[in-house]
C-alpha cells in the first residue's frame, strides 16, 4: 500500500517546483493574462500534480499541462481539447466514472488509473525544451516507486515514451531498442510494467485524423485486457 504522507509530500514538491525559469514565467503570465473565455476564473498557474487512483495498476503518462487546460484548472487532462478526447475514452473503457473532465469539483473519479506527465508545467507553444523535460523525471521516478500495484504504463506520444524510458534507464534497467508506434505493446523484463503506446490525444492529432476515437478505444481495450 502507498504511504499517504509520502505521496502527498511528493505532490507538494511538484506543485512548489521552480526549477525552470522560462516555464515559471510562462505559466504565471498565462495565469495573469488569462483567455477571454476564462477571464473570471482563478488560474492555477503552477506545476500540476498527478491525478487519479493512488493504488492504480494503470499509469497514463502525457506530455505537459495545456496553458488554458490543466494550467488553469490544476488537474491533469481537464478543461481542454485533449481532455475532451481522453476522458470520454477512459469512461468507455471503465477507467473513469464520467465522460467529462472540466476541473476540480466536477465529480470525476478515475478507477484503477493515474494521470501524470513527463513535464509538469505548461510550456510555450506546448514545446518544453530538452533541459526542461530533464528536470521533471525525478518526480515520475518517485511516483513509479510509490505505485506498488502498477502493471501497465500507457504513454501518450513520443515525448512521453522517451521520457518514461529515460527514467527506467536512469534507474539502471537495461532496455532493448524500443520503437514508438500507436498501439505498440512492449513486455519488458525485470518485473517492469507492460508498456503500451498511443498517439497523444491533442487537437492536432484528432483534427487531422491521425488519432481517431476508435483508435484510442482499441488501445484502451487492449490495456484493459492486459490488466485482466
- pLDDT tens readout for residues 38-94: 999 999 999 999 999 889 999 999 999 999 999 999 999 999 999 999 999 999 999
151: buried, middle or exposed (CB in 10 Å: 19+, 13-18, 0-12)?
A: middle
Is this model's pTM higher than 0.75 or not? yes
User: Can you give the C-alpha Rg of the chain in angstroms?
Assistant: 16
The CATH code belonging to domain 4-227 is 3.40.470.10
How much is the mean pLDDT over the chain?
96
Please state the domain extents for the chain.
4-227
Rounded to an integer, what distance in angstroms lies between the CA atom of residue 20 and that of residue 66?
A: 17
Rounded to an integer, what distance in angstroms lies between the CA atom of residue 7 and that of residue 143?
A: 8
**For strand 194-198 and strand 185-186, is the pairing parallel, antiparallel, or unpaired?**
antiparallel
| Residue in the structure block whose three cell numbers are 487532462 | 77
- 5 falls in which pLDDT band (50, 70, 90)? low
Looking at residues 120-140, what average pLDDT do you find? Answer: 94
34: buried, middle or exposed (CB in 10 Å: 19+, 13-18, 0-12)?
A: middle
Is the alpha carbon torsion for 196, 219, 200, 140 positive or negative? negative
Amino acid at each position: 500500500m502507498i504511504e499517504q504522507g509520502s505521496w502527498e509530500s511528493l505532490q507538494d514538491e511538484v506543485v512548489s517546483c521552480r526549477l525552470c525559469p522560462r516555464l515559471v514565467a510562462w505559466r504565471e503570465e498565462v495565469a495573469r493574462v488569462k483567455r477571454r473565455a476564462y477571464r473570471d476564473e482563478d488560474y492555477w498557474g503552477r506545476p500540476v500534480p498527478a491525478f487519479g487512483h493512488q493504488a492504480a495498476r494503470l499509469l497514463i503518462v502525457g506530455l505537459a499541462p495545456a496553458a488554458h487546460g490543466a494550467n488553469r484548472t490544476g488537474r491533469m487532462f481537464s478543461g481542454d481539447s485533449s481532455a475532451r478526447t481522453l476522458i470520454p475514452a477512459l469512461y468507455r473503457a471503465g477507467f473513469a466514472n464520467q465522460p467529462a473532465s472540466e476541473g476540480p469539483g466536477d465529480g470525476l473519479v478515475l478507477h484503477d488509473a493515474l494521470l501524470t506527465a513527463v513535464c509538469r508545467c505548461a510550456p510555450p507553444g506546448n514545446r518544453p525544451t530538452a533541459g526542461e523535460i530533464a528536470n521533471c523525471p525525478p518526480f515520475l521516478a518517485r511516483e513509479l516507486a510509490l505505485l506498488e500495484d502498477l502493471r501497465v504504463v500507457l504513454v501518450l506520444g513520443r515525448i512521453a515514451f522517451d521520457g518514461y524510458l529515460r527514467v527506467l534507464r536512469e534507474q539502471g534497467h537495461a532496455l532493448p531498442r524500443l520503437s514508438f508506434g500507436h498501439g505498440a505493446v512492449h513486455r519488458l523484463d525485470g518485473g517492469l510494467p507492460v508498456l503500451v503506446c498511443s498517439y497523444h490525444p491533442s487537437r492536432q492529432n484528432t483534427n487531422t485524423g491521425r488519432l481517431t476515437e476508435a483508435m484510442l478505444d482499441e488501445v484502451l481495450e487492449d490495456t484493459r485486457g492486459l490488466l485482466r
